[in-house]
Structure 1
Amino acid sequence: MKLAFILFKYFPYGGLQRDFLRIALECQSRGHEVVVYTMDWQGEKPVGFVIHQLKPKALAAHKRDKCFHQEVMNHIAQSSVDCVIGFNKMPGLDIYYAADACYEDKARLQRSKLYRLMQRYKHFSAFERGVFSPEGSTHILLIAPAQQVLFEQYYHTPSERFHVLPPGISQDRCAPENADEIRQQLREEFNIAAGDKLVLMIGSGFRTKGLDRALKAIAALPDKLKQTIYFMVIGQDNAKPFWRLARKLGVEKQLSVLSGRDDIPRFLLGADLLIHPAYHENTGTVLLEAAVAGLPVLTTDVCGYAHYIDKANIGCVVQSPFKQEDLNRLFLAMLTNQDEHQQWHENGLKFAKHADIYSMPQQASTLIEQLASQRGKLL
């Protein structure tokens, strides 16, 4: 089949982008033709993909999205495509991969009435309605099952249009047999002594991931412990506001910011703790990536995958409503309790062997084939 994949922007280190690529590559491996529509592609282009980069000329982001959508749909209408799969919300999709949380819920609970009078709100609300309206036919691939309740609440989407996927953790995140050797090499590379603590934070979108909360937690540590902390942040975002905050809090010496990179497994093995105090997070794939590497996790319960950390006892979860003192208390405890740290590490390795958290690309591709076949019969 000829499959059209749509996403606003591709860059190698975004969670949505990585999910798209793994699903598209799986579809390609099954013999299907992959055609991609995007406004921007950063990084290498997979062999065999047909990639259309469309550059709408509009200043406002929501206007660019609208123009891009119109151009893509016009192009698809003139092509012979068996199925249209979107990774951002927009009308006209056969299948939507639901990486983002319910926009209408956030707009109503976290924004003012004035915000809902703006053109930006009207655009994004209309694009979300184009996917989830009860009159529509778009099928939804869910990676955060809790979001189905919200979409049904606001749009009355028929339940049969939702398909729940397992997490899609890459097997290379699991600790290999030479994990201790890799850990030692990384710590030597960055001059981290055996008694020092490497705290890791991974993800693009530093504000959403709670980098400010993490810096405040480091600042709240006892001075002696604070001097042993190496805090590495890996991701693609503007770090200047957070450097200013680190200087204000007196922890700039602890902070290092690295751009997105391909050797994340090394850091997961070399670190002592992953901190991810997100403000909101539909899933939080990095939580499971850390877990299967044996790295204890400190996160917030708003992350869709936080329940895995809690149930498998692979770290600690800050409960809502969020309080900075709760994060500070758990952070200190996780850094100082060696017995629990070892137990969290061992629980993560056991979790890696038994949990169904790797098959998302395969199951998503099978659903795409099935739904595309049904669509073809209806045409």
Structure 2
Amino acid sequence: APAAAGAWTGTWAAGAVGAEPDAPHGLPGRSIRNVVHTSIGGTAARVTFSNLYGTAPLLIGHASVAVADAGGPAAVPGTMRRLTFGGERSLSRRVPVGREVVSDPVTLQVPAGTDLLLTLYTPAVGGAVTYHSHTRQTSYLARGDRTEDASGTAYATPTPYWRYVTAVDVRNRRSSGTVVAFGDSITDGVGSSPGSNHRWPDFLAARVRDSAYGHYGVVDEGIGGNQVLRDASATRSGRAAITRFGEDALGRPDVRAVFVDLGVNDILHGHERTGARIVTGLRQLTRQAHAHGIRVIGSTLTPFGSHAGYNAVKERARDQVNAAIRKGGVFDSVVDFDRLLRDPNAPGRLRPRYDSGDGLHPSDAGYRAMASAVNLRALLGSHAPAAT
């Protein structure tokens, strides 16, 4: 059913990976303009700011949201909106260590499939910066408070990171809810062309928009290096999936389904010599979702036989995980990304045209194929409309 007038849908999200290594005291006196890409449009927006990995309270002196003009830090004229906090019309907000804050809603016509500018000014010396590293997107920094600078001319310093922002939600009366893509660097889009929004969840969002299903937000909670079982935030790969799932996946607004693609890093970096504990962890994610009435679609683990970390023991562990997933009882529905992407002449490796070049991460063509392989009715289940 369409959303109630006051309901929220996720249009963009990014899991916090850890503390930025080169900014232990924050970015004092800087305006940080994050460029992010929407999946669904709406008539109002709110932004989530995070100090999850901070070592001191985060002082937000001033914040804004705007629709990005094409190709840079400028805003579309007339779309710049000042953000306030706490329902008090306060321009500043102090965010405690380990916490997040959601802005008050602002009226803004947010288009689907377009870039937004999420800007905040941090006036004072602080603690470590909570960030997302593998953005495949250029954002910007400026000196001084340039939060509401619509021209973008002050933003002379490009940056590859998203800092302090973890979600944008919109109000859309026709929305049927949010779909969360939850995974590792493959979900995060590592290997895709920078600035192209060619992560597989981006392609999935475009498919949904062009289909009879139409009005769903698709948010990408992929974190490069993320593991099912082990916390890797010290190496900027996020908390263990079994830890962060409740917040990063189930905590998004009006979630109807979660797509899970995880386990490769437990094998490559987590030293899991068999698939048993990984499968147990994946089943735990599904049980958590079911407790909230949310269905889970999962994928088999994709090949990495040409990657530097490959060996026969790791390949056996991957095969064990995939056999369990295909057998059933792990997810509600399965998309076989392994069979889709593997080289038929060397099944332990990616098909060459689907390989970004490192033997692990797909190319743009690979990510497009992944999104095309998702059965939308299986993903959306009882929430999917009848075909017309």
TM-score higher than 0.5: no
TM-score range, shorter chain: under 0.3
Larger radius of gyration: 1
- Give the TM-score taking structure 1 as reference length: 0.28
Q: Report the structure, 1 or 2, having the larger strand content.
A: 2
Higher relative contact order (CA 8 A, sep 6+): 2
